[in-house]
Structure formats: structure tokens, C-alpha cells
Amino acid sequence: MRGQTVLITGATSGIGRATAVHCGALGANVVAAGRRAEMGEALVQEIEQAGGTACFIKTDVTREEDVAATIAATLERFGALDFAFNNAGIFHDEPGFHEYDNQMWDKHLGVGLTGVFRRMKHELVAMLAQPGDKHRSIVNNASTVGMRGSTASGAGYTAVKHGIIGLTRQAAVEYASTPIRINAICPGPTLTEATAPLLDQDPETRRAFLSTLNPTATLIEADDIAATFAFLCSDAARMINGQTLPMDGGQLAQL
């Protein structure tokens, strides 16, 4: 990734933050986009102290003008957009299907699905305008919930993640004749700030619970997802297009 530019939304915590640090270590120009400026600036400082190049842009992914401005700022700062990780999303406790209210539904789709559509649209415009045939890559963060239903999820989150996979496949087909590849990563339950309290349980209780999530009885590491993103952006993955790559410790393989 040395000297190439990567845009990461939802970059201030969790999977997004791990991916920003990883790409910075690989020599990329990292554009970290998110809502929390203080955390974003701390991330930039960490990447730069490690010898990388980064900037933070405060972005609300539900506002198309913010998305467009973020892309424009990326091009102005670094002159190109080579890779994008559409990672921003929301996850919280959801009510039963019949209890779901319109406000929660609209919020989930606005951030998680419409937001991804708008980001992809503006990313594609920027990438298509760049000269040359160098491979470029868009990766969307979906979920194993995008590949089946789940009692641990709800209507909004599940619909969003299914929709992201649909957008990924559609865009990959439409732009297959260009140097741009579009794929999705589908993580299972991942170790982030939200799931860290699980590790505070005693070992037996923790393993018993985690074994219900996947056969390895462990949470997915955010660093592993970051490394997979970098792989999908590399020339080694030049024939991978329109794919959904589960990272789930075998979760989807078991009944």
C-alpha cells in the first residue's frame, strides 16, 4: 500500500481503527473519517508517530454533502483515491420484528445501507476519473448476519447487512470492465470496545458463551479483519471481485 491512499469510514474505533493503523503501517496515506474528532486526531497521531501518513476528516455518513466533501478533501490532500473501506455502521439491541418502530428502522437503513450506497457512489466517481489502469478496490463491511437470520440481531441490522452484500455484488458486476474491484468482508462476532466486557467473565463461562458464536470459541480479532482488507486491496486479490468473504471461525459452517 506504500504511497497509495485509503479512505476508511467509522475509523475512530473498533474494526475501522484497527484497519487505519494497519494500513498506516503498510505505508498507505490513511484518510480516517468519523464523527468523533478527538478520537480521530488521536488515531492520526498514533499512525504518524509510527512513521505513517494520515489525516482525520469529521464525517456524518448520513449526510451526502459530508460524504462528497470527504472524497473531495481526500483528492485535494493526496491526489487520488485507491482504496476505500465502507465500515461505518451501528449495532445495538433491537426489539422484536412486530415491535420495530419506523424511527429505528430509518436510522439503521440511513447509516448502514443508504450511507454505504452514497459512499460507494462518490468513491466510484472519484476512482473512475483517475487515469491509468492501476487496480483500485472498494471493500464493504457486512456481517455473517447478512448471509442468514440471527436471534442475536434484529430486522434493521439484518436487512442492512443483506443489502450491503447486494450492493457489493451489483457494483462489482457493473464495473467489472474497469480496474475497480468491489468486495465485502462478513465478520462474525468481533472483539471491539462493545464486546470487550465478555472477556471479564471467568474462563469457563466465557468459553461456554463464545462456543455458541463459532466453533473456535473465540471472538474475531479486529486486526485480522484489517489484514484481510489489505489483502483484498492487493494485487494478489486481483481476480477476487463481487465476493462476500466470511471471517467467522467456522460459524456459518455449522448447523
Give the residue-averaged pLDDT of 138-150.
92
Q: How far apart are CA 127 and CA 173, in angstroms?
A: 16
Which pTM was predicted? Answer: 0.91
Residue 89 is which amino acid?
Answer: G
User: If you write DSSP's letter for every residue of 204-236 in order, what string do you get?
Assistant: HHHHHHHTTT-TT-SPEEHHHHHHHHHHHHSGG
Tell how strand 220-221 and strand 83-86 pair up: unpaired
Residue 157 annotated in active site: yes
Backbone angles phi, psi at 182, to 5 degrees: -130, 125
Would you give the DSSP letter of residue 199?
G
Instruction: Provide the percentage of residues in the chain whose pLDDT is more than 90.
Output: 66
Q: Where are the extended beta strands (E) located within 36-157?
A: 53-58, 83-86, 136-141
CATH number of 5-253: 3.40.50.720
DSSP state of 72: H
Q: Which three cell numbers stand for residue 243?
A: 465476493
pLDDT value of position 199: 65
Choosing from 56, 91, 157, 229, the catalytic residue is: 157
The answer to whether residue 172 scores a pLDDT higher than 80 is yes
> How far, in Å, CA of 125 to CA of 123, rounded?
5
Per-residue pLDDT of 122-142, as tens digits, reads: 999 999 999 888 999 999 999
